[in-house]
A and B are shown apart, each in its own frame.
Chain A
């Protein structure tokens, strides 16, 4: 009986994540190619998929390491990108509180934008903690497997792509595709515009800190117009 609940919930989660999972193919390949082009050992870039498991942060980190940025800048930038997980953690906390303690850390490790998104939607109608937990798992695991597979594929075959294709463009390209959907109101629009402009003005700041200066200015400006 419970077996059926778990199976059904996991399959439902996997089905909901399918279209979002498809996006990881180009994204994972782009990351893998970026690693193979950067002066970063392939195994380091590949291991990051397991250790960090967050596309945007991994891409920014590898890009900054390749640009010889100071380690504190590279690490801070990647961590700031991942600050959103604190928000997701807050949003998922009520449902996680109903799960067995031993499940919480592994499920937290698998937390992604996509799995959080579909799970929060599912939680609105599903009240059974068992079904909620397996739905989350069914959504999160395919993302993890796909991310590992596509990033390692990109790393393996990235080196054979000629440099005349200018695949370095994949970095701004990916971040544009993440940026535009994140602008969902006026305050966020202001944060983005000010963040971008100030980071350009601060481009000569030491240790590539222009990025963080721009981001801080953007957040401050967004707060100022947020009513």
Chain B
């Protein structure tokens, strides 16, 4: 399937989720159990993406690199400062520092 078709499907699906409970299903309350489950989705899927993109390279374990250092710095900074902007900048700076030194 072409990339634009995939983008359109995700776009329509995302809009339907945004509109779901504020329009068509207005008045429907999500069961508490479902809501408790939904809140776990973001950490689980984000962690899966981080693990695969950080620790794998073409399907094999990534050799120790500036990626690991930059990732660790970003994680620490965003945890301590709660600022995504500062953490993105710090992580990228660490990545380039190590990249430049090796």
List chain A positions with a Cβ less than 8 A from chain B.
22-23, 25-27, 30, 40-41, 44, 47-48, 51-54, 56-57, 60-61, 63, 65, 71, 74-75, 77-90, 92-93, 96-97, 104-105, 107-109, 111, 164-166, 169-183, 187-189, 191-200, 203-204, 210-212, 214-219, 222-223, 226
Contact = CB atoms under 8 A, between A and B. Distances in A.
Nearest to A112: B18
B30 interface: yes
Given A60-B49, A89-B19, A192-B47, A176 B39 contact: no
A214 B26 CA distance: 32
Given A65-B3, A79-B10, A89-B20, A223 B37 contact: yes
Interface in B20-54: 20-23, 26-27, 29-30, 35-54
A220 to B, nearest CB: 9
Contact of A179 (B5, B46, B56, B88): B46
A71 B53 contact: no
B97 interface: no
B52 A86 contact: no
Question: What range describes how many residues of B lie at the interface?
Answer: 35 or more
B17 A85 contact: yes
Contacts of A199: 47-49, 51-52
Contacts of A107: 22
A196 B27 contact: no
Interface of B is mostly: helix
B43 A188 contact: yes
A226 B38 CA distance: 12
Interface string B65-100: 011001100110011001111011101100110010
A211 B45 contact: yes
Contacts of B78: 176-177, 180-181
